[in-house]
Amino acid sequence: MDKIPFNKPFLTGKELGYIGEVIASGSVGSDGRFTKLCSRLMEERFGIRKTLLTPSCTDALEMAFILADLGPGDEVIVPSFTFVSTVTAFMRTGARPVFIDIRPDTLNMDDALIEEAITPRTKVIAPVHYAGVGCEMDRIMTIASQHNLTVVEDAAQGVHAYYEGRALGSIGHLGAYSFHETKNYVCGEGGALCINDPRFLERAEILRDKGTNRAKFFRGEVDKYTWVDIGSSFLPSEITSAFLYAQLEELDSIGQRRRAIYETYRAGLEPLAQQGLLRLPHIPDECVTNYHMFYILLPDATTRDELMAHLRTVGISAVFHYVPLHTSPMGLQLGNREGQLPVTEDLSARLLRLPFYGDLTNADQQRVIDAIGAFLNSRVATPREASVAPRVAG
Ligand SMILES: *Cc1c(COP(=O)(O)O)cnc(C)c1O
């Protein structure tokens, strides 16, 4: 039987043509026509003051944390249930992560735990919009303004997803998108910094271009460009931007494809959820998701591991994430310990992500649904101790 991979980058068909145009034009460097088209499209569609394309979301996060003026001893409030980039991006500033637990319903940062984590050293809150479902941004922004903190949204998974009608990445002072091959809109490796607070505009351009004021020079605002600040090369080439533009042009159609796949999983797995054999993702009323992924929560870690192994034997690649950052070797070295974040530790051990990509066929999805059903029902036949008691936020 054919293998069903976990991920496969979806192509719109225009990528090669646009890349060909760039090569034919002779200008393959940064900030050309396609980079500008991508930035403008995102600024208009998502209501972002300015977007700067970067070689990755990790780079965009690194820029955001430098802009937030983090330094040694400063603290950043982050979830531990996230990809390593959220935290690694600020470690070189000397700032430290203060990990907080997640909400049992959305698996996003638990906004009820933020205030007690604030100390005089806190400078940034970095919410991560897990699976393209928005964090409680109203509450987070209110807390941030009361304590004079900067909010950096890790919206790597949140491109074209919304919270109370506002695009994820457009709400915090700064935000970061990813166009990595595993995300909804791809260009191989790529990202964007979203700048919503105008006080960061000027320095962001300088940081991105080796610490020079070259962007001002191109706009004719200075008569020569020179070295003015710290920085790096956070510039993608036009080849990458051309690829990305072919994807962003299809923002809505790619979104619709993903929605159909998500709904098929949801409908197919609903009976198993009714039986209490697994739990399905929760999307709060104020959120419109971009259907970034489909995950299920099993009753316990053993069932998750055995189901994952079983799916592999029938050619289906399902994966889990994340090893909580606070229990990773680096997290432990920073003084964290197991047992510190019970919800994170519990849910990350029971979560399984199902194959999800734009070209996933209905027949293949049915195979995944059937395989999960057959496996879980066969286990019901043999009595087991645990049942899935769905835990609700509150
Ligand atoms: C993918 C991802 C990143 C990193 O994105 P890159 O573009 O690979 O640097 C950061 N944070 C989260 C939550 C992600 O899912």
Q: What is the pLDDT of residue 394?
A: 39
- 56 within ligand 1 shell (Cβ under 6 A): yes
Q: Whose CA is nearest to atom 5 of ligand 1?
A: 57
Token pair for 91: 């470690």
Q: What is the pLDDT of residue 379?
A: 87
- 129 within ligand 1 shell (Cβ under 6 A): no
Residue type, 313: T
- 54 within ligand 1 shell (Cβ under 6 A): no
Which atom of ligand 1 is found nearest the CA of 85? 10
Which atom of ligand 1 is found nearest the CA of 178? 7
Q: Can you state the angle between helices 238-248 and 15-25, rounded to 10 degrees?
A: 150
Cα dist from 197 to 38, 100, 126, whole Å: 20, 25, 15
Pocket of ligand 1, candidates 85, 184, 186: which has the most ligand atoms within 8 Å of its Cβ, to mutate?
85
- The pTM for the full model equals 0.95
**Residue with structure tokens 């506002």?**
166
- 240 within ligand 1 shell (Cβ under 6 A): no
Within 14-173, residue ranges assigned H as helices are 15-25, 33-46, 57-67, 85-91, 114-117, 137-147
162: left (phi over 0), alpha (psi -120 to 50) or beta: beta
- 75 within ligand 1 shell (Cβ under 6 A): no
Q: What is the CA(58)–ligand 1 centre distance, in A?
A: 6
Is the domain spanning 15-248 CATH 3.40.50.1220? The answer is no
- 31 within ligand 1 shell (Cβ under 6 A): no
Pocket of ligand 1, candidates 57, 109, 157: which has the most ligand atoms within 8 Å of its Cβ, to mutate?
57
- 86 within ligand 1 shell (Cβ under 6 A): yes
> Do residues 291 and 261 touch, judged by C-beta distance below 8 A?
yes
pLDDT in tens, 2-26: 999 999 999 999 999 999 999 999 9
Question: Who's near 65: CB < 8 A, 6+ residues apart?
Answer: 76, 89, 90, 93, 95, 124, 152
Pocket of ligand 1, candidates 58, 168, 186: which has the most ligand atoms within 8 Å of its Cβ, to mutate?
58
Q: What is the CA(199)–ligand 1 centre distance, in A?
A: 25
What is the residue extent of each domain of the chain? 15-248, 251-377
Q: What is the pLDDT of residue 216?
A: 93
Pocket of ligand 1, candidates 87, 157, 295: which has the most ligand atoms within 8 Å of its Cβ, to mutate?
157
DSSP 192: E
Q: Whose CA is nearest to atom 1 of ligand 1?
A: 156
Residue 393's pLDDT band, with cuts at 50, 70 and 90, is: very low
Q: What is the pLDDT of residue 372?
A: 98
For the chain, the residue count is 394
- 154 within ligand 1 shell (Cβ under 6 A): yes
- Helix, strand, or coil (residue 47): coil
| Euclidean distance between CA atoms 99 and 97, whole angstroms | 6
pLDDT in tens, 179-208: 999 999 999 999 999 999 999 999 999 999
Is residue 388's pLDDT more than 70? no
Candidates 136, 175, 135; CA nearest to 152 is 175
> What residues are paired with 316 via a beta bridge?
4
| Euclidean distance between CA atoms 310 and 304, whole angstroms | 10
Is residue 362's pLDDT more than 60? yes
Is residue 390's pLDDT more than 70? no
| Euclidean distance between CA atoms 157 and 377, whole angstroms | 32
Determine which helix (DSSP H) or strand (DSSP E) holds 303, and give its type and residue range.
helix 301-313
Residue 387's pLDDT band, with cuts at 50, 70 and 90, is: low
**Residue with structure tokens 């019901």?**
380
Q: Which CATH class is domain 251-377?
A: alpha beta
Is residue 308's pLDDT more than 70? yes
- Helix, strand, or coil (residue 341): coil
Q: What is the CA(69)–ligand 1 centre distance, in A?
A: 21
Q: What is the pLDDT of residue 381?
A: 74
- 131 within ligand 1 shell (Cβ under 6 A): no
- 57 within ligand 1 shell (Cβ under 6 A): yes
- 58 within ligand 1 shell (Cβ under 6 A): yes
Give mean pLDDT, residues 283-287: 98
Q: What is the CA(262)–ligand 1 centre distance, in A?
A: 21
Average pLDDT, the chain: 96
Q: Whose CA is nearest to atom 6 of ligand 1?
A: 57
Is residue 286's pLDDT more than 90? yes
- 180 within ligand 1 shell (Cβ under 6 A): yes
Q: What is the CA(132)–ligand 1 centre distance, in A?
A: 12
Q: Whose CA is nearest to atom 2 of ligand 1?
A: 156
